[in-house]
Amino acid sequence: MKKSLYRISALLLMGGLVTSCLDDVLDVESQSTFDASVVFANYKLAEYQVIGIGEIFAHTNSYNARLNHFYGYNTDIELKMGSAASGAKVEEYTMAEYNTQINNSSLNTGNNGYNEIMIGIERANLAIQGLQQYGGTGSNADMANLLGEALTYRALYYYELMKMWGDVPLHRSPLTSETLYDPKAERDDLYKSMLSDLEEAIGYLYWPYESTPTMSADRMNKAFAKGLYARVALNAAGYSWRPDDGQTGTGNAGSLRLSNDPELSKAVLYPKALKHLEDIIENGSLSLEPSYENLWHKFNDFSHLTGSREVMFCQPFGNARGRWNYAHAYPHTANSPFIEDNSSKGGQTGANPTLWWKYGRNDVRRDLSLVFMRWSQDAADGNGGWEMRNASNCFFGKYRYEWMIDYKGGTGDGCKPIVMRYADVYLMAAEIAAYLSEADGGGLAKAKSYLGEVRRRAYAGHEAEADAYVNALTLGSAAGNDNAAVSDYKAAGTIMKAIIDERALEFVGEFLRKQDLIRWGLLKIKLDEASADMKALATMTGDYAAYAAYTEPKEVKNSKGDKVLATFDTYYTYWREKGQGIEVYGLEADQIGKTPAGYNGKEDDGGWNRFDFLSQGVFYQVPSATSTEATYQDEKSYRWMYFYNNPYNDPYPRSTWPLFGQNLSNAQGSLVNDFGYDNL
């Protein structure tokens, strides 16, 4: 039975590899190629099995075209563009707005992401068992490294499953007829399994750049396993919406709470996690990319795989798979010179525009991370080019087609999403150190030093400003406090608020934020705050009141143009093309209400264009065909109402997806949705 499973698994895995790899395999004597005792005793064959664990990333209904684009927003900083009120792609918007249904057509398939990740776990289990039995890992460091990779994959896949679906069955060995329909495991047991796998894997894996397999960031390495241990520990010791103890898989409504298991407390996990993070720092094989912009050039031209010491692990896509820029890059309309097939791309997601005002003026990340623009065939000069978009169209500038090399077009752009980078090591270490006392290896001074590393890179050329900010921070309530984030998220000048803010500024568009907010206990709090903040921006009140003194009324008419439906106070900015993008004037505090030098409103205007950038009307969501005077008066017509939108008036009970109908029906009654989700 086991040998048959190995043969089947090997055939499946080999089917996902590139032709050159298959040619190498076929050079090996084939008599017993797919017998486990042969496969896992031969380094090259065993390596293909381990590489094949990651092949599920490229499956269409896995990360390739679903999971990388449907999970991670809405947060206080990252949004699905549009909302359910816009009437299009309603099922995608309900996912973003914390109201996913079990019959969602994009994910309720027999080969959906849940099933694909479970296949990855089965592949990992087969490789782990085979290497343990036949790999000679006790005496062969290269074979031990393969075992470490398989263990790390298993931990990563379970982390991903729990992130998206909450509690799931736990399989630590290849499936048998007895275990095929196991029920959900308790979440604490899942966390312990992940942490145990990573602790074991760390002992086997090579450091980055220590050996041939770890020369590329699409292979597992010791630093990533240590960083993943810290990420899992932060989540295990943090908040989540989880069933009552012993009630997993019973339809339990759940609640927002910490684990009751003392082994998963911050006091137990944080010292271990900090030690792993400090091991990464002390090892010296990784470092921050000196230029934040250059990091993203490398991402877009794929040189981050081997040419950036900051990237710890990225999803192993081939150069024609994956749809990252297709979904997350700022938009290009048809006929962009940077997209060979001349089709529209990008702009499915974007940032909460209020984040632009959270950056300091000298923070190099601001204008790189957030852009109010698109490339348009119908740009102002009539020849195609970059043009400004209004305040509701804030996109991720990290992802750019013009920085790609030889992109042939099509949905598969080959971009390889970064799972973890070195900046996260510093910020996780800062958070953990702030919680721990100096006697336990932490303390405020250490937390500030780690935070300062990231902040100084962000303020390149103005490092003294970064240092002054960090040096002034106080401990606040961080020390030994499970609720430090909730206590201090508004407490300016505290280390915890600084970390909460810094993670937003550093990682926007990388979709780490949802899990951060969940584990901090801040998901609803920060979404409500972001909703109010967006409304304040739209109405130019509160922090944005300075713009209101320089507005002009602008009418919105019906489709016939014979009736005014609404009039909005509108703030105008100025923009012109500059390089591969635009230069904007009128948003900085000392530019409000002013015109740029050279602009005179006539032909000779220095290339500047006047643009109606900000008003309540630009956040209007209802389709124009159904717009009336009443809809313009209805607050439900505006984007700030749709950070979350479900019957609970709370994102937390829907912060994980349900098991979908196909998953439930295929489980032969062994799986049940909790949290009030429907069941078959």
Q: Is residue 82 part of a domain?
A: no
Q: Is residue 26 part of a domain?
A: yes
Residue 355 and residue 234 share a domain: no
Q: What percent of the chain has pLDDT over 90?
A: 89
Residue 340 and residue 208 share a domain: no
Residue 117 and residue 241 share a domain: yes
Q: Is residue 179 part of a domain?
A: yes
Residue 178 and residue 234 share a domain: yes
pLDDT of residue 380: 58
Query: Under 8 Å CB-to-CB from 107, ≥6 apart: which residues?
Result: 61, 66, 70, 95, 100, 113, 657, 660
In the predicted structure, residue 616 carries a pLDDT above the cut 90: yes
Residue 332 and residue 270 share a domain: no
Residue 267 and residue 179 share a domain: yes
Summarize pLDDT for 629-647 with one digit per residue, the tens. 999 999 999 999 999 999 9
Helix (H) or strand (E) holding 273: helix 266-283
Residue 154 and residue 51 share a domain: yes
pLDDT of residue 8: 40
pLDDT of residue 364: 98
pTM: 0.95
pLDDT band at 601 (very low <50, low <70, confident <90, very high): confident
Summarize pLDDT for 351-369 with one digit per residue, the tens. 999 999 999 999 999 999 9
Among candidate residues 598, 614, 630, the one where a domain is terminated: 614
Among candidate residues 415, 432, 447, the one where a domain is terminated: 415
Tokens of 267: 């006091």
CA distance 648 to 99: 9
In the predicted structure, residue 12 carries a pLDDT above the cut 80: no
Task: For the chain, report the end-to-end CA distance as a whole number of angstroms.
Answer: 33
User: What is the average per-residue pLDDT within 201-206?
Assistant: 98
User: What is the average per-residue pLDDT within 485-503?
Assistant: 98
How many distinct structural domains can be found in the chain? Answer: 3
pLDDT of residue 603: 62
Q: What percent of the chain has pLDDT over 70?
A: 94
Query: If we measure between CA atoms, which residue out of 316, 332, 313 comes closest to residue 371?
Result: 332
User: What is the average per-residue pLDDT within 30-47?
Assistant: 82
DSSP string, 148-186: HHHHHHHHHHHHHHHHHHSS----SS---TTTTT--PPP
Residue 266 and residue 141 share a domain: yes
Residue 246 and residue 152 share a domain: yes
Q: Is residue 164 part of a domain?
A: yes
Phi-psi region of 59 (alpha: psi -120 to 50; beta: other; left: phi over 0): beta
Residue 352 and residue 281 share a domain: no
Among candidate residues 576, 591, 614, the one where a domain is terminated: 614
Residue 330 and residue 269 share a domain: no
Which residues span the domain enclosing 269? 2-59+111-250+261-285
Residue 329 and residue 270 share a domain: no
Give me the chain's average pLDDT, please: 93
User: What is the average per-residue pLDDT within 53-69?
Assistant: 95
> CATH number, domain at 195?
1.25.40.390
CA distance 458 to 269: 30
